[in-house]
Amino acid sequence: MENKVSIGLLGLGVVGSGVINIIQSHQEKLRHQLGAEVEVKRVLVRNLEKARHANIEASVLTLDPEDILNDPEIDVVIEVMGGIEIAKEYILKAFAARKHVISANKDLVAIHGPELHAAAEQNKCDFYYEASVAGGIPILRGITDGLASDRIQRVMGIVNGTTNYILTKMAEEGMSYDAALQEAQELGFAEADPTADVEGLDAARKMAILGRLAFSTPVDLGDVKVSGISKITSEDIKHGNEFGYTMKLIGYADFTNQELDIHVLPTFLSNSHPLATVKNEYNAVYVYGEAVGETMFYGPGAGSLPTATAIVSDLVAVIKNIRLGVSGEQIVHYYFDKELKPASKRFSQYYMRVNVKDEAGVFSQLSKLFHDYEISLKRILQSPKDKNKTAEIIVITHQTSEENFTNLLEKLRKLDAVNEISSYYRVEGDGAE
């Protein structure tokens, strides 16, 4: 590796093409930083005849992954093919061949990250995946390197650009959920099947990865409580705005006293909260450290060049480790045991919209239930709903435990005066008075 580092690329879609374009256009800077030329030697593709968005010779393309995994001259493998099981198989083979690996595959890392880390450590290889969480935002490196001396207590943020785009359009242009989703799909922000994004699964995978690195504890994907945005209505957005709140899909992870609270949930944020101003497809992550206090990472959460930039930054780190002889020494280790925080210790404010019978005594029945579960009300809005003697009550509670709020919901559903609990969401911060 005296004068050249050879790269094998698994996949040549939008992100893979971006990686090649950055490597080609930044050769002078890479040589200055690394003292060596970076060469993309082989690229695995599914179709040799397909038109490419990268300037690459046909002789570099291959249909056979073994041309990369068994080539002794290839030092680093970059996985941008997607999928889980096949990608995992190829990465494990790369480690067995003592090749370092960079991946942008959040699904794979969220599910099999600990196993892949163990394989990398066993073979003294590096395994980096900055691009798996927030595109071009250096959040993982910020946590593992920039805040390495601090004890991180909480991570909170918007980590899915698709849902943020949809919620921005609903809030600012009064679009329905379906119309905003359709526009996101037309612009390429949402997939034809948007389930992973809109139901919170994509964000949950990212939060599992963030939780592991931030807290040095074995966070599993199944630990993340998840709810998406597909049931949010324009009516909820409007009522939230009346109270001084903006709806966002928020990933949240807290680790105190070795008790983990981690979730991805639609949340009403106070309009004064910095995350409430993050719009469209952008991502932002707050990290709360014991010493540093609050830090915020903001930027594009997806896209060819932002994601490719994160991958090439990982590549620079891997090559520097090779040249320094410290490869495989930055593997993630879990220093703390984990216990999920019980519902009795998880506290939040809540927004709730309830459809009730419009008759005397109903509000007193509701008030008694709130009192029974020690839930006090911060804001109340009541209005007649229609001519069928129904009314709608919208409330914002003060802080209460998830256990008490869940029990309250069960009792309300059984109350004869309640027609329907239309919606309920977590609330962060103080809205307008």
Q: What confidence tens digit (pLDDT) does each residue in 178-196 have?
A: 999 999 999 888 889 999 9
pLDDT score recorded for residue 433:
56
Confidence band (pLDDT; 50, 70, 90) for 2? low
Query: Of 88, 99, 169, 206, which residue is the catalytic one?
Result: 206
Confidence band (pLDDT; 50, 70, 90) for 131? very high
pLDDT score recorded for residue 52:
84
- Residue 52, burial from CB neighbour count under 10 angstroms (0-12, 13-18, 19+): middle
Question: Residues 148-155: what's their mean pLDDT?
Answer: 91
pLDDT > 70 fraction of the chain, expressed in percent and rounded: 98
pLDDT score recorded for residue 155:
97
Residue 339: how many other CB atoms lie within 10 Å:
10
Question: Residues 273-296: what's their mean pLDDT?
Answer: 93
Question: Residues 306-323: what's their mean pLDDT?
Answer: 93
Domains of the chain from N-terminus onward: 4-135+304-324 (3.40.50.720), 141-299 (3.30.360.10), 346-428 (3.30.70.260)
Task: Dig out the tokens for 30 from the structure.
Answer: 């890479």
- Whether the pLDDT of residue 88 is over 70: the answer is yes
Scan for tokens 């990398």, then name that residue: 120
Q: What share of the chain is helix, strand, coil (3-state, %, to 5)?
A: 40, 30, 30
Position 287, amino acid: V
- The pLDDT tens digits for 324-372 are 899 988 777 788 888 999 999 999 999 999 999 988 888 899 999 999 9
| Distance in angstroms (rounded) separating the CA atoms of residues 39 and 170 | 46
- Whether the pLDDT of residue 1 is over 60: the answer is no
pLDDT score recorded for residue 94:
98
Tell me if 417 sits within 8 A of 365, measured CB to CB. yes
Task: Dig out the tokens for 352 from the structure.
Answer: 């709730």
pTM: 0.93
- Whether the pLDDT of residue 200 is over 70: the answer is yes
| Distance in angstroms (rounded) separating the CA atoms of residues 138 and 148 | 14
pLDDT score recorded for residue 251:
98
pLDDT score recorded for residue 428:
93
Question: Is there a catalytic annotation at residue 206?
Answer: yes
Any idea which of 34-38, 67-71, 91-95 has the lowest mean pLDDT? 34-38
pLDDT, averaged across the chain: 93
| Distance in angstroms (rounded) separating the CA atoms of residues 433 and 417 | 29
Question: Residues 248-274: what's their mean pLDDT?
Answer: 95
